[in-house]
Structure 1
Amino acid sequence: MYLPEPIVNLIDGFQRLPGIGAKTAQRLAFTILKMDDEDVADFAQALIQVKRDLKICTVCQNISDQDICDICQDKSRDTSIICVIQETKDLIAMERTREFNGLYHVLGGAISPIEGIGPEQLKIPSLLERLSDEKVKELILATNPNMEGEATAMYLSRLVKPFGIKVTRIAHGLPVGGDLEYADEVTLTKALEGRREV
């Protein structure tokens, strides 16, 4: 089947996204063709803006449109508790529960020797720098309950021990092998409530 090069390039572009197979990429590309020119321009501008205007928060490593994200600037949050998560999408899931009012630290992944990700690829130095602040009393390890997340939590608990900070792990109300971003609010709330000291 022959398709013009621009549509083939668009399909290829969509296929580079995680979870998008050939048929879905083709469906998305043809949906773009049917959209109004203005809507397509807005969509393209949104893509460009995300890459151009977003940065990493200098405190928690979350994505932000400013040097320090809104969560880190929020004076009503409990600065004595830091919740360590793997990715920004996990932060979004935690915030949906409306149960956690502390601060976050985004690692940017998990230890995974198979994928060539070691502790040096994660945002651990900036976490350790934050822990030197005497205000921090508890570190919640909310990495995913899979092999990589457990390895990362164990590594961090050992690394943080000399700081004398209480280290807890979210309870396994989450299915083993699951990801935080797919958990519902009730499950995440129970996991937070049932966290345990490591």
Structure 2
Amino acid sequence: MSFSPLIQQLVTALRCLPGVGPKSAQRMAFHLLERDRNAALELSAALAQAAEEVSECQQCRTLSETDICELCASLSRDRSSLCVLESPMDVVAIEQTNSFAGVYFVLGGHLSPIDGVGPDDIGISQLLERIAQGEVKEVIIATNPTVEGDATAHYIAEQLKRTELKVTRIAHGVPVGGELEYVDGGTLAHALAGRRLL
């Protein structure tokens, strides 16, 4: 069955969201048009406003409505500790732990030569400029534990080799509350390699 052009346009637009396939997009479109037109109008207005007014923080590159985000503007953050992440969602994840009081730098991705993503595409030069300002004493690399995330972490560490900075990588391993028999081999290998003294 084919939809009218406007309905098809809406379904196609909804499919750009992660994890939304054709059927889910159709359900969302029909729900908004059949049952909740006010929510559809609110959603479209909020999306348009966010797309217009949200950009990157000039210091950390996370999403922000202002030139300098709330975290970078805060006087209570420890500016000597800089955590390097792949995405703004990673900032949210770390902030929810309430265990890091430093500042952030968001790469906006990871190195992937096969996809044509190089150092300039993920803001490595901006990161190095920020570090060169002299406030940072430790760089915590918190890229994802993937091949690309590890390659990005190694590249950044290599760039910082000649500095006096402490460069660390977040630990990877067995989740708290996890049972070894259910943990995959790669995770166990990382956990064993990253073991520490008790």
Q: TM-score, normalised by structure 2?
A: 0.85
> Structure 2: how far apart are the matches of 1:64 and 1:44?
19
Q: Distance in 2 between matches of 1:195 and 1:56?
A: 37
Aligned residue number for residue 144 of structure 1: 144
Give the corresponding residue for 2:18.
18
Aligned counterpart, 1:85: 85
Tell me the residue number matched to 2:172: 172
Q: State percent identity of aligned pairs.
A: 45
The Cα RMSD (Å) is 1.9
Cα shift readout 1:166-186 (whole Å, capped 9, x = no counterpart) = 0000001378xxxxxxxxxxx
Contact 2:119 2:125 in 1 (8 A): no
Listed as ranges, the gaps of 5+ residues in structure 2 are 176-190
| 1:6 alignment counterpart | 6
Residue 123 of structure 1 deviates from its aligned partner by 1.0
Shift of 1:132: 1.2
1:38 CA displacement: 2.8
Instruction: From the superposition, tell whether residues 53 and 35 of structure 1 become closer, same or farther in structure 2 (CA, over 3 Å).
Output: farther
Alpha-carbon separation, structure 2, partners of 1:195 and 1:147: 21
| 1:171–1:195 contact (8 Å) kept in structure 2 | no
Asked if 1:119 is matched to 2:124, the reply is no
Tell me how far 1:44 sits from its aligned partner.
0.6
Q: How high is the TM-score relative to the length of structure 1?
A: 0.85
In structure 2, the partner of 1:134 is 134
2:183 is matched with none
- 3-state SS in 2 of match to 1:162: coil
Mapping for residues 20-39 of structure 1, pairs under 5 Å:
20-39=20-39
Tell me, in whole angstroms, the C-alpha distance in 2 between the residues paired with 1:16 and 1:76. 38
C-alpha contact (below 8 Å) 2:111/2:148 kept by paired residues = yes
Give distance in 1, aligned partners of 2:39 and 2:18.
24
Give 1:17 shift: 2.2
The residue matched to 2:78 in structure 1 has which SS?
coil
Separation (CA, whole Å) in 2 of partners of 1:78 and 1:63: 20
What is the one-letter code of the residue matched to 2:18? P
Q: 1:151 to 1:170 in 2, by over 3 A?
A: same
- Rounded Cα–Cα distance in structure 1 between residues aligned with 2:39 and 2:11: 18
> Radius of gyration: which is bigger?
2
In 2: Cα distance, 1:151 partner to 1:88 partner: 20
Contact 1:111 1:117 in 2 (8 A): yes
3-state SS, counterpart of residue 39 of structure 1: helix
Label 1:174 to 1:102 Cα distance change in 2 as closer, same or farther (>3 A): farther
Compute the displacement of 1:195 (Å): 10
Task: State the number of aligned residues.
Answer: 179
Task: State the one-letter code of the partner of 2:86.
Answer: Q
CA-CA distance at 1:145 after TM superposition: 0.4
1:146 positional shift: 0.5
Within a 5 Å distance, the mapping from 1:49-68 to structure 2 comes to 49-68=49-68
How far 1:9 moved relative to its partner?
Answer: 1.0
